[in-house]
Structure 1
Amino acid sequence: MFNKKICIMFSLLFVLTFITACGNGNEEGTSDSTNKEEGANKERTLEHASGEVTIPANPERIIAPYLEDSLVALGVTPAAQWSIGSDVLDYLQPQLEGVPKIAWDMPLEQVLKHKPDLLIFSSPSSLQNGSYEDYSKIAPTYVYKEEVSSNWRDQLKRMGRILGKQDKAEQILADFDKKVKEAKTSLQEAIGDESVAFIWTKGDQFFVFENNRYIAEVVYSEMGVTQPEFIKNLPEAGAQWKPMSIEKLGQLKADHVFLIGSEGEGGFETLKNSSVWQSIPAAEKDQIYVMNKPSHWTIDGVIAHSMSIDKIVETLAE
């Protein structure tokens, strides 16, 4: 009988060991225990758009151009930040002040200069100035798949996996959902079913936010704010954002309009002098709100969207 019990115990131990081993695969879709915060202390091999890459334990010099929102949200300061000329992601500068710039197309010589230990690209198409092999010779290189890159929530969760900060990413999104719910209640009380639209002006051109572009998707789909019929009838947002004429803007029957653009843009003066623009409901009701810090409005990211929600609630409900 004693020997029989010993055999049973060893059999159970073997089964448990086998199950644990099966759960410790290297692919990024494996069991959570591999990729939780403790995983940040270990090398991990993940699948990505360009194959497989081994993520170093505790990388300290990360470059992830145009993904800095996710990095900063997770408490990580990059070794260099995305830029086009002198332009950077202005809304993140309180956290990234003093962080050196790197050109948006990631020239290899600039990448080498910053001595990264991990490179992260937002999509295969973002490898503009070299091949995957070129970058991976400098540092381990992870490339987001297009379907992940196109969804800011998935971007953040994937960054959590890459850095072994999945729990933190999930908590950030839970906090964001709570913020959305509170903002929804505030706006329902403040404006009811009145409609809201968002327009960005750059130079003397005007770009209307479709209902699935940037913060508009959160406002319409998650916060339940009424879309003007004009917005409902627009095609889905594409990668190429097309400007709209003032004559077309005259069809925008919105009760409230957030007009976004850097101070001094020519579009502001053009609209001010346009009788077509001045005849839309929002203008007649003096409910056009100029937002002169555009950078967080025209990007997807949890920090950017949180800042936009704060401005919307501050403008319409306080």
Structure 2
Amino acid sequence: MRTALFRRSSGDGADTGKLGIRRRAGLVAAAAVVAVTALAGCGSDTDEPADNGTDKARSVTHDAGTTENVPAKPKRIVSLSVTLTGHLLALDAPVVATQVAPGPFSDKTGYFLQWSDVAKQRNVEVVYAGAEPNLEKVVEAKPDLIIGAASGADSTAKFYDQLKGIAPTLIYRYDNISWQDLTSKLGEAIGLADKAKEVLGKFDAQVTAVKGKIKVPTQDVAPLRNNGTQIVIFTKESAQGKLLATLGLKVREVPKNFSADGPEGGNRNDVVTVAQENLGPALADSSVFFVGHNAEQIATAKAAPLWKSLPAVTENRAYDLGLDSFRMDYFSASAVLERIEKTFAV
């Protein structure tokens, strides 16, 4: 009888953007090699990795190079990026397990809020929690395809050589691409290009419908996240900014002299970090959309001395984009559209 392969983690939560990677590269790599060899060689007839059947393997180019032996129709995908899992679920991909990141944007299991119910309905398991890959658990999941991130807190780029020894592995950046383009790219990679077109077509129809039902603010809009000492403002190049622009809103371009160094910013063009004391001049008359905050956090921010005199606050132009708006995929983008329709309906 087959034993359980997964155990759900109940570790302490942390903000997705701040998960620290505790590198145990030497020990983990060695353990992974032993695990791959042992587990691959001792399975019974009923406990073998998924077979690709007669489907011909394909060559797929991704952000770590080109992988030659990708199954045309994978049957057991293990996602090592909680960010990418939502894209895969929207494609109805056969995801059997995912990395999770317990924290403010997830449920108690670590699934992102926007697709938590879908993952549970499809019996998606937790392969490990946190940013550091548990390679032995990945082996136990018996993937015929591994998909991971090449950017962000859940990046597995440094473990790529070990992962590709377990199963064909594809990794992708998600910080320099729209969620729509990433969905299309993943669809092409796993043989679900037609499904990707269907999903994006459905979303485009939703955008058109919402756009015809709302009256948007005439002022610039600034989607942002309050991190306490600093403010992260999402630019027109961000997934959040692009969605708002699609609906006819003009996304604020923060003057460069107000930007500050910050861990979220780096060399990225999708966010600008601003010190709290520069919030007023950085935003000017812009309306504000809070990204990834709950109601209590928004109320606290609006009551703070540097916030309460902002035109966006005094004129009730500070809006909630939703807790799930921090990481954009089909599920969260659709939810954001519903909130915007409700807020600006005419």
**TM-score category by the smaller chain?**
0.7 to 0.9
Do the aligned partners of 1:203 and 1:267 also contact (CA within 8 Å) in 2? Answer: no
> Per-residue deviation at 1:313?
1.6
Q: 1:18-33, aligned counterparts within 5 Å?
A: none
* 2:65 aligns with one of 18, 43, 50: 50
Corresponding position: 1:93 with 2:116: yes
Partner SS, residue 186 of structure 1: coil
Query: CA distance change for structure 1 residues 229 and 130 in 2, over 3 Å: closer, same or farther?
Result: closer
- Correspondence for 2:100: 83
The alignment's TM-score, normalised by the length of structure 1, stands at 0.72
Corresponding position: 1:289 with 2:298: no
Q: Distance in 1 between matches of 2:71 and 2:256?
A: 46
Q: CA RMSD in A?
A: 3.4
- Correspondence for 1:31: none
Corresponding position: 1:223 with 2:230: no
- Correspondence for 2:45: none
Aligned-residue sequence identity (percent) comes to: 24
- Correspondence for 2:170: 142
Q: Distance in 1 between matches of 2:192 and 2:230?
A: 41
Query: CA distance change for structure 1 residues 267 and 310 in 2, over 3 Å: closer, same or farther?
Result: closer
Partner SS, residue 119 of structure 1: strand
Which of 1 and 2 has greater Rg? 1
Query: CA distance change for structure 1 residues 117 and 228 in 2, over 3 Å: closer, same or farther?
Result: closer
* 1:245 aligns with one of 269, 272, 275: 275
Q: Distance in 1 between matches of 2:336 and 2:270?
A: 22
Q: Which piece of structure 1 moves more, 166-175 or 116-125?
A: 116-125
- Deviation readout 1:120-171 (Å, 9 max, x if unpaired): 1233883345232x21221122233x59963422221122122222111112
Do the aligned partners of 2:149 and 2:174 also contact (CA within 8 Å) in 1? Answer: no
> Per-residue deviation at 1:41?
7.1
* 1:272 aligns with one of 282, 299, 303: 303
Partner SS, residue 96 of structure 2: coil
Partner SS, residue 181 of structure 1: helix
Query: CA distance change for structure 1 residues 78 and 71 in 2, over 3 Å: closer, same or farther?
Result: same
The answer for unaligned runs of 5 or more in structure 1 is: 1-39
Give the length in aligned residue pairs. Answer: 272
Corresponding position: 1:317 with 2:345: yes
- Correspondence for 1:170: 197
* 2:239 aligns with one of 196, 202, 214: 214
- Correspondence for 1:21: none
Query: CA distance change for structure 1 residues 60 and 185 in 2, over 3 Å: closer, same or farther?
Result: same
Task: Compare the two structures and name the one with the higher helix fraction.
Answer: 1
> Per-residue deviation at 1:119?
0.5
Do the aligned partners of 1:202 and 1:267 also contact (CA within 8 Å) in 2? Answer: no
Corresponding position: 1:127 with 2:142: no
Query: CA distance change for structure 1 residues 303 and 208 in 2, over 3 Å: closer, same or farther?
Result: same
The residue type equivalent to 1:42 in the other structure is: D
The alignment's TM-score, normalised by the length of structure 2, stands at 0.67
Q: Which piece of structure 1 moves more, 234-243 or 258-267?
A: 234-243
The answer for unaligned runs of 5 or more in structure 2 is: 1-52, 104-109, 260-264
> Per-residue deviation at 1:186?
2.6
> Per-residue deviation at 1:270?
4.5
Do the aligned partners of 2:178 and 2:238 also contact (CA within 8 Å) in 1? Answer: no
> Per-residue deviation at 1:261?
3.9
- Correspondence for 2:91: 74
Query: CA distance change for structure 1 residues 85 and 147 in 2, over 3 Å: closer, same or farther?
Result: closer
- Deviation readout 1:92-144 (Å, 9 max, x if unpaired): 10111253322434221121122211101233883345232x21221122233
